[in-house]
Amino acid sequence: MCGIVGYVGTPGKTPSAVGLVLDGLRRMEYRGYDSAGIAALDGKGGMAVEKRAGRLDNLAEAVEDANLNNYESTTGLGHIRWATHGRPTDVNAHPHVDSDNKIAIVHNGIIENFAVLRAELEADGFGLRSDTDSETIVHLLHREYYGDGENRGSIDKSVRAVANMLEGAFTIVIAHADHPDRLLACRRNTPLVVGIGEDAMFLGSDVAAFIEYTRQAVELGQDNIVTITKDGYTITDFAGTEIEGRPFTIDWDLEAAEKDGYDYFMLKEIAEQPHAIADTLRGHLHNGRIVLDEQRITDEDLRQIEKIFVVACGSAYHSGMLAKYAIEHWTRVPVEIELASEFRYRDAVLGPDTLVLAISQSGETADTLEALRHARAQKARVLAICNTNGAQIPRESDAVLYTHAGPEIAVASTKSFLAQVTANYLVGLALAQARGTKYAEEVEEIFQDLENMSAKVEKTLEQWDNVNEIAGHFAQNDTMLFIGRNVGYPVALEGALKLKELAYIHAEGFPAGELKHGPIALLEEGVPVIVIMPSPKRHPLLHSKMVSNVQEVQARGATTIVIAEEGDDSVIPFADHIVRIPECPSLLQPLVATVPLQMLAAEIATQRGYDVDKPRNLAKSVTVE
Ligand code: M6R
């Protein structure tokens, strides 16, 4: 939710701020695209600011018109917005600037006490221009810096004072035109990383902001303030005590964040899925044992677990549904799957014998983060599955398994979903091994099956032309239904979510057996129903039930698109269209069955003329509840 870029370079040695910050924003665009803005300091007490509603291109045009591309500056900040308070207009866009045009701030998050602060500022005579909570921050800074109090003239003290006034979630980056050698930033509950370049330092909501310049980064903790200059950085807490950040090396590069010849990031990310699976598995089977990336609890703790809750949102939640099938099957421990946004508002029974599995690509989803905090407060253990090294969710967990899907830029989850499913299975195996419900050979055998899935996903990608052709028949439909049974049900939900979010088509996923209990009434002539068929060899009973379900829907006029295993000819009479997937163990079938549904949604969205990477109203990371 919102993307932030900050940069302090060296005049004559490192690139100028305006272009660099715009490039950084381009790579952050998946975090929001309601508006964008930039501020740059000229080093002589001056500051240039441009901001525009809408996509980043609008800002780039405004920068061009204002001839800012030639603005001499090596200190700048930028923001890409996903609107929370106030509509996406030019005025509400960040940066927000004080009345003297000296201080500029960008903010990601929500200031929960902004109404009180705003009223206070207005009573003090400050005129606020926007409807945002963020604008209060810049006036508070002005009041501290130019007021008669002890913080007068000190940007460091002023930032500290204001950080202590704010409630809620915030990453704020601050520039002061009279201190052009530095940027300050503070964070609570929303992300910020520092990039260490040569003669330059960077700030970013995530490392994509500066990946072109450095792979050396520093992770900040909760309630930290950081100051960057061209030569380095210092970190303090909100009381001013110096503290250390955690340095890390980014394990992907610029190329991974670029489109690589694809029209959309999403298409590239679909194609990268075989690697996402292989990379997520790599290194996790060691001497016949599954190893997690971080484990701050013992195997004995894992043996004490009597109940597991899986908490996640959106696609991650669908992946978590699959975790339930695998973990219960392999460990016999009961698993409940919960939407993170609901979990902490009910009174779930939690304690030291409960494990909460928190799944999040970004590692910063507020609903999931708050759910895990709620669980920890009641002494439950938390194991995180995350795609973002050092994000808040893994930091606050007792154990972590990182997915290695690489940067996912498209808003819709694709490769991160398959990587999460893979990681879920690894967690299931790790638990089974710790609890002694699977022998080492069985663990190795399943691990081998998982490794084989990369090639099977690769094979499934060969269906791309077929799926695109099928998509052409349905691009103008306004309803689509997805049905599956057992592990095919979460796949159906995920397929429906992809279609909704990308193509804005009303889509719903159902357990196939549930159709006749109500949803079958939705069927009429030509309604497309996508059917995820289980394997006839591996799950004959389920397969025969599904054959009946396809017949039922076809008999009511539906047009059926059947995702069926290679060689499963029993479905031919009932399928108006068929997409073939390779045979694989039943539990692992979602890894291949999801892929055609991702392609279908992307192609239908394209045919309807929508931006596949940036669906309306959405943002990649949802850092507000
Ligand atoms: O970063 P997270 O995995 O925590 O994100 C959770 C959901 O917001 C996310 O999976 C969302 O549903 C997808 N982008 C949908 O494609």
Q: Which helix (H) or strand (E) holds 500?
A: helix 488-503
Where do the structural domains in the chain lie, given as residue ranges?
A: 3-252, 267-438, 461-607
What pLDDT score was predicted for residue 611?
A: 93
Q: Identify any residues that bridge with 506 across adjacent strands, giving them in sequence order.
A: 479
Chain segment 86-119, per-residue pLDDT in tens: 888 999 999 999 999 999 999 998 898 999 999 9
CA of 12 to the centre of ligand 1 (A): 42
Among the listed residues 51, 102, 324, 620, the single catalytic one is: 620
Question: Do the domains 267-438 and 461-607 sit in the same CATH topology, yes or no?
Answer: yes
What is the pairing mode between strands 528-532 and 506-511?
Answer: unpaired
Report for 204-208, 252-256, 590-594: range of highest mean pLDDT: 590-594
The upper half-sphere exposure of residue 489, i.e. CA atoms within 13 Å in the direction of its Cβ, equals: 16
What pLDDT score was predicted for residue 87?
A: 87
Weakest-pLDDT range from 37-41, 162-166, 461-465, 522-526: 522-526
Contact 501 CB / ligand 1 (< 6 Å): yes
160-163, long-range: CB within 8 Å, 24+ apart, which pairs?
160/225, 160/236, 160/238, 160/239, 160/240, 162/137, 163/188, 163/223, 163/225, 163/238
Chain segment 573-616, per-residue pLDDT in tens: 999 999 999 999 999 999 999 999 999 999 999 999 999 998 98
CATH architecture of 3-252: 4-Layer Sandwich (3.60)
Chain segment 374-398, per-residue pLDDT in tens: 999 999 999 999 998 778 899 999 9
CA-CA distance, 515 to 368, in Å (whole number)?
Answer: 31
Annotation says 584 is catalytic: no
Which numbered atom of ligand 1 lies nearest the CA of 368? 4
CA of 238 to the centre of ligand 1 (A): 31
Give percent of the chain with pLDDT exceeding 90. Answer: 85
Residues 228-239 have a mean pLDDT of: 98
pLDDT over 90 at 560, yes or no = yes
The letter for the amino acid at 523 is L
Chain segment 496-521, per-residue pLDDT in tens: 999 999 999 999 999 999 988 988 88
Computed from CA positions of residues 399, 393, 448, 332, in that sequence, does the dihedral angle turn out positive or negative?
positive
What single-letter DSSP state applies at residue 127? P
Among the listed residues 2, 186, 386, 584, the single catalytic one is: 2
Nearest CA to ligand 1 atom 10: 315
CA of 445 to the centre of ligand 1 (A): 31
Annotation says 456 is catalytic: no
Computed from CA positions of residues 535, 536, 537, 538, in that sequence, does the dihedral angle turn out positive or negative?
positive
CA of 106 to the centre of ligand 1 (A): 24
Full strand arrangement of the beta sheet holding 399-402: 294-295, 399-402, 381-386, 354-360, 307-312, 335-339
Query: Of 3.40.50.2300, 3.40.50.720, 3.40.50.10490, 2.40.128.20, which CATH number belongs to 461-607?
Result: 3.40.50.10490
pLDDT over 80 at 199, yes or no = yes
Residues 250-271 have a mean pLDDT of: 85
Best of 362, 364, 367, 625 for a ligand 1 pocket test (most atoms within 8 Å of beta carbon): 362
CA of 318 to the centre of ligand 1 (A): 10
Helix axes 17-28, 56-65, angle to 10 degrees: 170
Contact 388 CB / ligand 1 (< 6 Å): no
What pLDDT score was predicted for residue 60?
A: 96
Contact 411 CB / ligand 1 (< 6 Å): yes
Residues 154-162 have a mean pLDDT of: 98
What pLDDT score was predicted for residue 287?
A: 85
For 536, the 3-state DSSP assignment is: coil
- Residue from 495, 475, 468 nearest 484 by CA: 495
CA-CA distance, 6 to 163, in Å (whole number)?
Answer: 18
Residues 9-18 have a mean pLDDT of: 96
Contact 320 CB / ligand 1 (< 6 Å): no
Contact 190 CB / ligand 1 (< 6 Å): no
- pLDDT interval class at 465 (50, 70, 90): very high
Weakest-pLDDT range from 180-184, 252-256, 350-354, 427-431: 252-256
What pLDDT score was predicted for residue 568?
A: 96
Contact 424 CB / ligand 1 (< 6 Å): no
Contact 314 CB / ligand 1 (< 6 Å): yes
Contacts of 158 (CB under 8 A, 6+ apart): 141, 144, 145, 151
- The pTM assigned to this predicted structure is 0.82
- Residue pair 171/392 in contact (Cβ under 8 Å)? The answer is no
Q: Which residues of 369-380 are buried (b: 16+ CB within 10 A; e: fewer)?
A: bbbbbbbbeeeb
Burial classification of residue 252, based on how many CB atoms lie within 10 Å of its CB (0-12 exposed, 13-18 middle, 19 or more buried): middle
**Which homologous superfamily does the CATH classification assign to the domain defined by 267-438?**
Glucose-6-phosphate isomerase like protein; domain 1 (3.40.50.10490)
Nearest CA to ligand 1 atom 9: 314
Dihedrals phi, psi of 134, to nearest 5 degrees: -65, -35
What mean pLDDT is reported for the chain?
94
Best of 313, 612, 618 for a ligand 1 pocket test (most atoms within 8 Å of beta carbon): 313
Residues 117-122 have a mean pLDDT of: 96
